[in-house]
Chains A and B, each alone.
Chain A
Amino acid sequence: MHALSLRQLAKTYGNGVQALKGIDLEVEEGDFFALLGPNGAGKSTAIGIVSSLVRKTAGQVSVFGIDIDSDIEAAKACLGVVPQELNFNQFEKVRTILENQAGFYGLPRALARDRVEQYLRELQLWDKRDAMSRTLSGGMKRRLMIARALVHRPRLLILDEPTAGVDIEVRRSMWEFLRKINAAGTTIILTTHYLEEAEQLCRSVAIIDEGRIIEHGPMDRVLRKLHTEAFLLDTREALPESFALAGFRARRVEGHTLEVEIDKEQNLNDVFAALSARGIEVLSMRNKANRLEELFLRLVEGNDESAAPVAPAADGARR
């Protein structure tokens, strides 16, 4: 079953801006799905429509087969939403915010208290349960919004930039937590500016730009569309400014660092062999950027002719 299905979803705001130009998108139940796009691409509008904070202009939205136009309450009961902006009452206690949220989804008081304790403990907020929410740190506020979205145990969790502005340690622990709830059966849709995050966590991806889906499919298949990958090599010997490596696109970045682009048909062994033949020893190597980031930039900038015209995916993606 599709956890989420969007059909020809369109949104034109009052000021005439067409934020969505008829997008089709399907997310499978149990998937961990990334919705990516530059600022203003239409990600938050799409999420806003699904969570009923934005009214659609045209199209259909169904959540686990429930059309939001025919039974909005049943559809909303399946959803948990973590918005980009803080939207809890800053003057309420952490525990109160979660207990009230559970109540809005119909959980009896005793069950709500148990769930609140469970999620506050899991998200390391139990010690702050009686603190005013405005006194929490940025990372704690983000975790509070995740706990709030989960307290009624939604079947579909939508997170809009959940780790924006949090430090690496907190981000990693949030990733672990999200992996865990996904493994337990919760479908997750994530938007993020950290493309590493999407690549690490998500099994499927859609890239949206100027109100249209320009790529959609399983993460590994999407990443295979990258024809080249760039590596940075640190060398023991200093490299001349005009350094070149026959058969490869290579350039000296600085004294001891070389950037090499590898095509699909090439392999790293050939690079090492060529360098070794020149008497250059490689000390270490790293990716220049993560692969999804490269693909993303190429797609939205339209720089890569081979990557941009992607065939529709079997699960309903379209250009």
Chain B
Amino acid sequence: MSAAPAELVPTADRRWVGLSTIVRREYQRIMRIWGQTLVPPAITASLYFLIFGSLIGSRIGDMGGFSYLQFIAPGLIMMQVITNSYGNVVSSFFGAKFGRHIEELLVAPLPNWLIVLGYVAGGMLRGLLVGLIVTVIALFFTRLHVEHPFIILAAVLLTALIFSLAGFVNAVFAKNFDQITIIPTFVLTPLTYLGGVFYSIQMLPPWAEAISRTNPILYMVNAFRYGFLGSSDVHVGKAFAVMLLAAVLLYALCVRLMNRSSGIRE
């Protein structure tokens, strides 16, 4: 039988349950379409390790005292974390806009900052899951040296956070499916490939090295690599400062966009 209206849930409880529900829904989505979310990065990473690591890498020789495979492994893990964190949020949030089920959240008694946090946590979750999968694959090809585990953890969490937030910004502005692929194709991929995943920027001529230092992904890859190998092309403190600043600015931008309802409410 239908019952009388319920008493209100206290705000703090409602927010906590609301946030965990958004994250659970994102997790369910990742698992529901695992063939699109978890398998492709595993295949791509395997091919990179096989071709660049084992086949070509064996002819390149050592990089800073480590085998080429050991050198590129952190970069390849980070590359997939970046792509998948970004891709999860941009496709999930834009899909919710397109299918109008974002309205479920917009009418719910949840603040905008919490909705952003929920989607971003979902993006980070996928980034970390994929990062874990690629790490396991890397272990089939090489032994991973771990120098600073907490730096590895901090770098991967911050990177996943930054690119989840960036994916959110893209999704808010996107008006069609083309617009959620433009940034990954024309901005993210070139920056990632030129961000020191496959090489040390010390190998570059001075002008190219100077340009590379303006690429934020360079700092993320190198901070992560420092956690594994204990060596980096950039100062690790500076790398974390860049990442923290980017995360704070992007989160503020995302909440502002939600509050202004750009492209979401009429």
A residues near B (Cβ < 8 Å) are 13, 48, 51-55, 72-79, 81, 83, 85-92, 96, 100-101, 103-108, 122, 148, 150, 152-155, 177, 180-181, 184-186
Q: Cβ of B214 < 8 Å from any Cβ of A?
A: no
8 A Cβ contacts from B194-253 to A: none
* With known contacts A13-B266, A89-B99, A103–B24 Cβ distance under 8 A: yes
Which residues of chain B are near A81, meaning CB under 8 Å? 107
Q: How far is the CB of B125 from chain A (nearest CB, A)?
A: 16
Task: Evaluate contact between A53 and B265: CB separation under 8 angstroms.
Answer: yes
Q: Which residues on the B side are within 8 Å of A108 (C-beta)?
A: 17
Take A55-B265, A90-B99 as given contacts and tell me if A105 and B2 are in contact as well, using a CB distance cutoff of 8 Å: no
In whole angstroms, what is the CA distance A105 to B11 when docked?
10
Known: A54-B265, A87-B100, A104-B108. A180 touches B2 (CB 8 A): yes
The size bracket of the interface on B is: 35 or more
Residue from B10, B99, B103, B108 having most chain A Cβ neighbours under 10 A? B108
Q: Which of A76, A78, A86, A106 has the most CB of B within 10 A?
A: A106
B4 and A77 contact, CB distance less than 8 A? no
* Docked complex Cα distance between A85 and B106 (Å): 15
Answer whether residue B187 sits at the interface, using C-beta atoms and an 8 A cutoff: no
- Is B100 touching A106 in the complex (CB atoms < 8 A)? no
**Using a Cβ cutoff of 8 Å, how many contacts connect chains A and B?**
115
A42 to chain B, nearest CB (A): 13
Interface code B80-124, partner A: CB below 8 Å = 1, 0 otherwise?
000000000000000010011101111111110000000000000
Contact A153 B5 (CB under 8 A): yes
Measured CB to CB, the nearest residue on chain A to B4 is A185
20 residue pairs A–B, Cβ–Cβ below 8 Å: A48-B266, A52-B107, A73-B110, A74-B11, A74-B109, A78-B8, A87-B103, A89-B99, A100-B24, A100-B104, A103-B18, A104-B18, A105-B18, A105-B109, A106-B14, A148-B104, A150-B2, A155-B5, A184-B3, A186-B4
Contact status B101-A77, CB under 8 Å: no
B9 → chain A, closest Cβ, in Å?
4
Q: Are B104 and A74 in contact (CB under 8 A)?
A: no
User: B178 on the interface (CB 8 Å rule)?
Assistant: no
Known pairs A106-B13, A106-B17; A89 contacts B111 (CB<8 A): no
Residues in B with CB closer than 8 Å to A106 are 9-10, 13-18, 109
Report whether B100 and A85 are in contact in the complex, using a CB–CB cutoff of 8 Å. Answer: yes
- Return the contact of B3 from the options A91, A153, A155 (Cβ within 8 A): A153
Indicate with 1 or 0, residue by residue over B25-49, a CB within 8 angstroms of chain A CB atoms.
1001000100000000000000000
Question: Complex Cα distance A278/B19, Å?
Answer: 77
A180 CA / B5 CA spacing, docked (Å): 12
Beyond the given A91-B32, A106-B17, A186-B5, please list 17 additional residue pairs across the A-B interface where CB-CB is below 8 A.
A52-B106, A52-B107, A54-B265, A73-B110, A83-B103, A87-B99, A87-B100, A103-B20, A104-B108, A104-B109, A106-B13, A106-B15, A106-B109, A107-B9, A122-B2, A153-B5, A184-B3
Contact present for B111 and A51 (CB under 8 Å): no
Residue numbers in A under 8 Å from B110 (CB-CB): 73, 104
Q: Are B261 and A104 in contact (CB under 8 A)?
A: no
Q: Which residues in B have their C-beta under 8 angstroms from that of A48?
A: 266
Q: How far is the CA of A108 from the CA of B14 in the complex (A)?
A: 9
Check if B108 sits within 8 Å of A76, measured CB to CB: yes
A104-B5 contact given A52-B265, A53-B265, CB 8 Å threshold: no
Contacts of A185 in B (CB 8 A): 4-5
Residues in A with CB closer than 8 Å to B101 are 87-89
Q: Which A residue's beta carbon lies closest to that of B17?
A: A106
Q: Please, which residues of chain A bring their CB within 8 A of the CB of B265?
A: 52-55
